[in-house]
Amino acid sequence: MSVADFYGRWAALYDRVATAPGVERWRRAAAERVARPGDTVVEMGCGTGANLPYLQECVGPAGRVVGVDLAGPPLRWARDRAGRYGDDDVAVVRGDATDPPVGTADAVLGTFVCGLFDDPGDVVDRWCDLVGPGGRVALMDATATEAAVGRPLVPLFRAFVAAGAPGSGPGDVLRAPFGRPDEPLSRRVAASRAALTDRTEARRYETFGLGFVGLLSGRVR
């Protein structure tokens, strides 16, 4: 099953997770790191559009928000959210975040998407090229925490990662707490953050959710 088909099948469940209590604070912070009044901001891998309200709030009536995602069913949820702002403020398009279907932007946001790319460093480079010097890029992703307070929950996190992987079955989920199914995810997230670090200045790194969620943002040199 492809990534697009997998997330399309589970769009409703994904939306409940994406809008769970407490997650709002992470998403608002991500929007505030990249979006300024009057900006055009592109969210790569927008899913069901959970970030769109916060991005639109930041860019204001003079700005524009474009959500891009490869999976059709989540985009229907995103379009419902976008519809409340009017066609001139928020748009949602079907496209590949690895080859963005937009020509220019002031900022790019990617949340919980870099772990899906085969070559996340190359993808982040493309996003930096898209916004150009002075543009802003922010990445928010989840990995196993190194914070002492969250370490007891790492086995549960690994089960969550296994459950959210296309092609994974019940047996994979049950074995996950005793293995390292999150290693590919961690490598890809690390590669994306390294690429953003290499291309940007004025960076800021924050953690949420007991250290499981990291938000790295910066301004392209």
Burial of 100-127, coded b for 16+ CB within 10 Å and e otherwise, reads beeeebbbbbbbbbbbbbeebbebbbeb
Q: What is the number of other CB atoms lying within 10 angstroms of the CB of residue 173?
A: 18
Residue-wise pLDDT tens digits, 52-66: 999 999 999 999 999
The yes-or-no verdict on residue 206 having pLDDT over 60 is yes
Query: Do 173 and 215 sit in the same domain of this protein?
Result: no
- The one-letter code for the residue type at 140 is M
- The per-residue pLDDT for 192 is 98
Query: Do 64 and 169 sit in the same domain of this protein?
Result: no
Query: Do 90 and 196 sit in the same domain of this protein?
Result: yes
> What's the pTM?
0.93
Query: Do 190 and 150 sit in the same domain of this protein?
Result: no
- The whole domain housing 102 covers 3-142+182-220
The yes-or-no verdict on residue 120 having pLDDT over 80 is yes
Structure token pair of residue 201: 């200045």
Q: The domain spanning residue 8 has which CATH number?
A: 3.40.50.150
Which of 219, 8, 33, 198 is closest to 109 using CA atoms? Answer: 33
Q: Choose the weakest-confidence range: 20-24, 72-76, 141-145, 185-189.
A: 72-76
**134/107 Cα distance (integer angstroms):** 9
The yes-or-no verdict on residue 11 having pLDDT over 80 is no
Q: Mean pLDDT score of the chain, rounded to an integer? A: 92
Query: Do 26 and 49 sit in the same domain of this protein?
Result: yes
The yes-or-no verdict on residue 196 having pLDDT over 60 is yes
